[in-house]
Amino acid sequence: MANAAVFFDRDGTLIEDPGYLNHPDQVKLLDGVAEALKELKLLDYRAIVVTNQSGVARGIVSEEMLGRIHDRLGELLARKGAALDGIYYCPYHPEGVIPKYRQDSDWRKPAPGMLLAAAEEMEIDLTRSWVIGDSLRDVEAGRRAGCRTILLQPANQEETGTDGPDYVAVNIREAANMIKKLHRSEQDDASTEDAGVEVESAADQEYSVTAIEAEELRIEPVQTESAPGVHDQGLADQDTPRLLTEILEQLKRMEKSQMFGEFSIMRLLAGIVQVFVVFCLLMALWSYMRSDGQITATHTALGFGVVLQTMALTFYIMQGRR
């Protein structure tokens, strides 16, 4: 299964935007960025940066320095327990002063080139992915790639048109919360659908088991009279589940009756007599220990014990012959 991802713009979204950032010391994380990345990672989203860096084409920053800037970004995130899964940047611009980079590119937002390249290299399902950025270029790139989009827009900034992003958030914390809420809602919907399939499957299985049990009992079909305008076979099909249910109930009652079938009056009497046998033997032992030479009471108790034991055995034998 393909991965889902959240694509982030860099300047003004993850870090402060001083305008053509060109040194690692200028990298400053915005509030809530590390926490948002960690929360989205728990939802199995890849975190990927896609950023236009025309400063390379303009001669303001080199690609080597850009690499150091991105290393600094990764270091600051790691200190807070967060991380990025990839960084894609476009160094080209048609008005650049460096000939190597003076060109247009389908990687430059609002073109979706960086997102498409990331999707191919990292096996990302763009339809399940998001783009978060602070400009309409980010939104347009996300829409053209097939992602859902969130525009970061401070509360005091003028609102965009209705045909802009899918959602608007004040900051990255709110954007992450939106994704979490929608993700859980979609999971709940999927769980409900799966549960419905499982219930239907269980019902089919129960009906199959019932049919097998009925076949083993060799149940004869019940003849019923057809109502006007109703086919006989249709009525039989309607009655079958009810008849099978009644058969199962009868089997359960038979099982319960067998469970208690061992109980009998004879066995009850034998048990009661057995208790008295033990009592008589205890009395005989007590009388013998306190005997002062007369052992009549002891003999009497022993005699009762023998008689009662014989009665108990008789009861058990009678029960066994039933």
| Model pLDDT for residues 270-290, shown as the tens digit of each residue | 778 777 777 777 777 777 677
- Would you say residue 127 lies in a domain? yes
Output b/e per residue, 52-66; b: 16+ Cβ within 10 A. bbbbbbbebbeeebb
Catalytic residue of the set 9, 138, 188, 292: 9
Share of the chain above pLDDT 90, in %: 52
The answer to whether residues 112 and 155 belong to one domain is yes
Residues 101 and 211 in one domain: no
Both 58 and 118 in one domain: the answer is yes
Q: Are residues 248 and 276 in the same domain?
A: no
Q: Judge if 310 and 215 occupy the same domain.
A: no
Compute the radius of gyration of the chain from its Cα atoms: 42
In a domain, 193, yes or no: no
Number of residues that make up the chain: 322
Order across the sheet with 130-133: list the strands. Answer: 86-90, 45-52, 4-8, 130-133, 148-152, 167-169
**At residue 103, what are phi and psi to the nearest 5 degrees?**
-165, 160
Of 134, 155, 187, the position where a domain reaches its end is 187
Q: How confident is the model at residue 236 (pLDDT cuts 50, 70, 90)?
A: very low
Q: How many domains does the chain have?
A: 3
192 falls within a domain: no
Kindly state whether residue 198 falls inside one of the protein's structural domains.
no
Q: Please check whether residue 91 lies inside any domain of the structure.
A: yes
Q: Domain end: 187, 214, 232, which one?
A: 187
Are 214 and 244 a contacting pair, CB within 8 Å? Answer: yes
Question: CB 263: neighbour CB atoms within 10 A?
Answer: 8
Q: In terms of pLDDT, which residue wins out, 258 or 239?
A: 239
Q: Burial letters for 97-127: b for 16+ Cβ neighbours within 10 Å, e otherwise?
A: eeeebeeebebbbebbbbbbebbeeeebebe
For residues 32 and 136, membership in a common domain is answered with yes
Q: What angle do CA 146, 149, 152 make, to 5 degrees?
A: 160
Mean pLDDT of the chain: 81
* Residue numbers of the domain that contains 247: 206-254
Could you tell me the pTM of the whole model?
A: 0.60
Per the structure block, which two tokens stand in for 214? 């009925």
Q: Is 11 an annotated catalytic residue? A: yes
Kindly state the tokens that stand for 102.
């003076």
State whether 172 and 124 are in the same domain. yes
Tokens representing residue 313 in the block: 């055995």
Residue 25 maps to a domain = yes
Q: Among 155, 187, 219, where does a domain finish? A: 187
Q: Which has more pLDDT, 178 or 207? A: 178
Residue 140 placed within a domain: yes
Residue 114 located in a structural domain: yes
Question: Domain check: are 79 and 214 in the same one?
Answer: no
Mark whether 17 and 158 lie in a shared domain: yes
Structure tokens at 177: 């919360």
Residue 142's CATH number: 3.40.50.1000
Axis crossing angle, helix 265-289 with helix 296-320, rounded to the nearest 10: 160
Same domain for 163 and 303, yes or no, is: no
Do 83 and 174 lie in a common domain? yes
31 is catalytic: no
Same domain as 145, residue 11: yes
Give the pLDDT of residue 230: 39
CA distance 79 to 148: 30
pLDDT, tens digit, 9 for 90 and up, residues 101-159: 999 999 999 999 999 999 999 999 999 999 999 999 999 999 999 999 999 998 656 55
pLDDT of residue 61: 97
Q: How many helices (H) and strands (E) does the chain have?
A: 9, 6
Residue of 11, 104, 188, 194 marked active site:
11
